[in-house]
């Protein structure tokens, strides 16, 4: 293990939301704005001179709600929606089978109240956090629908998502890093889920680092923070010291 110190003035920071900045909730809508987190994010964004982006599976409107519009640059639905350095809101076109799949999954969960169906403009997510025993059944249904429709299957922690094919979190990092204010800096991508692996890989490819939040696993990240609380403390420490301090494990 070695220690890495990246000066704030040389860094670009990409942060996942759920499980990284906010604790995982039973239902996505249960996550709400918190004044301390909002203030911290505003201060980090100011210290980075705008080189902060939130890259989440949530839609951008929902990210703005939870972070109280604290961040200018945001990518939602794993990168299919973007409010990036171009200054233009960009969004993929919804897949033509999306409404049909939503209808099928709505029927599937009707008699399975422990499952939670989340509709997004560009995807449908099926959460089974309250019914872990249903994992195999949920994954089987999702895989069959992905095969039948051409939607992309995105597996996460206790959730599967069928979404419009297109950009992922890694593509978002690469594209943001091409333009001011992100270009010519060192990217740090922080996330907790398997959906963040693309972001970790892109950060490493561009000379930066991926930071896994939570238990260690087979990952493309090189450093780890143990919890949401530790992420917030790490950000607070960066404000105090002027650098992002990380213990590199691989």
Give the model's pLDDT for residue 75. Answer: 97
Domain containing 133 — which CATH number? 3.30.70.1020
- DSSP secondary structure code for residue 163 in this structure: E
Q: What tokens appear for 145 in the block?
A: 């629908």
- In the chain, helix, strand, coil percent, each to 5? 40, 25, 35
Give the model's pLDDT for residue 250. Answer: 58
Give the model's pLDDT for residue 34. Answer: 96
Domain containing 186 — which CATH number? 3.40.50.1000
Q: Identify whether the C-beta of residue 133 lies closer than 8 Å to the C-beta of residue 143.
A: no
Domain that holds residue 196: 2-92+167-248
171 & 74 share domain: yes
What is the separation, in whole angstroms, between the first and last Cα of the chain?
7
Give the model's pLDDT for residue 169. Answer: 96
Listed in sequence order, the DSSP H helices in the chain are 35-47, 60-66, 98-110, 135-149, 169-176, 197-205, 228-241
pTM to 2 decimal places:
0.92
The residue annotated as part of the active site, out of 16, 45, 62, 192, is 16
Q: How many structural domains does the chain have?
A: 2
In the beta sheet, which residues pair with residue 135? none
Give the model's pLDDT for residue 115. Answer: 92
102 & 187 share domain: no
Q: Is 64 a catalytic residue?
A: no
200 & 213 share domain: yes
88 & 207 share domain: yes
Give the model's pLDDT for residue 223. Answer: 96
Give the model's pLDDT for residue 15. Answer: 98
Give the model's pLDDT for residue 121. Answer: 86
* Positions of the chain with pLDDT under 70: 250
123 & 202 share domain: no
């Amino acid at each position: 293990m070695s220690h890495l110190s990246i000066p704030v003035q040389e860094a670009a920071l990409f942060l996942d939301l759920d499980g990284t900045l906010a604790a995982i909730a039973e239902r996505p809508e249960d996550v709400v704005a918190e004044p301390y987190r909002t203030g911290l994010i505003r201060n980090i964004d100011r210290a980075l001179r705008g080189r902060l982006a939130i890259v989440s599976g949530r839609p951008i409107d929902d990210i703005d709600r939870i972070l109280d519009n604290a961040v200018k640059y945001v990518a939602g639905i794993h990168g299919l929606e973007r409010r990036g350095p171009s200054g233009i809101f960009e969004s993929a076109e919804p897949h033509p089978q999306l409404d049909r799949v939503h209808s099928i999954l709505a029927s599937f969960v009707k008699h399975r109240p422990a499952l939670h169906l989340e509709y997004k403009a560009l995807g449908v997510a099926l959460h089974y956090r309250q019914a872990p025993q249903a994992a195999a059944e949920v994954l089987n249904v999702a895989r069959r629908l992905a095969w039948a429709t051409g939607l992309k299957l995105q597996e996460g922690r206790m959730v599967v998502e069928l979404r419009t094919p297109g950009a992922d979190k890694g593509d978002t990092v690469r594209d943001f890093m091409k333009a001011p204010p992100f270009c010519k800096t060192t990217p740090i991508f922080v996330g907790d889920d398997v959906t963040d692996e693309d972001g970790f890989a892109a950060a490493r490819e561009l000379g930066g680092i991926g930071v896994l939040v939570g238990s260690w696993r087979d990952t493309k990240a090189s450093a780890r923070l143990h919890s949401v609380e530790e992420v917030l403390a790490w950000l607070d420490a960066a404000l105090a010291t002027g650098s992002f301090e990380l213990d590199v494990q691989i």
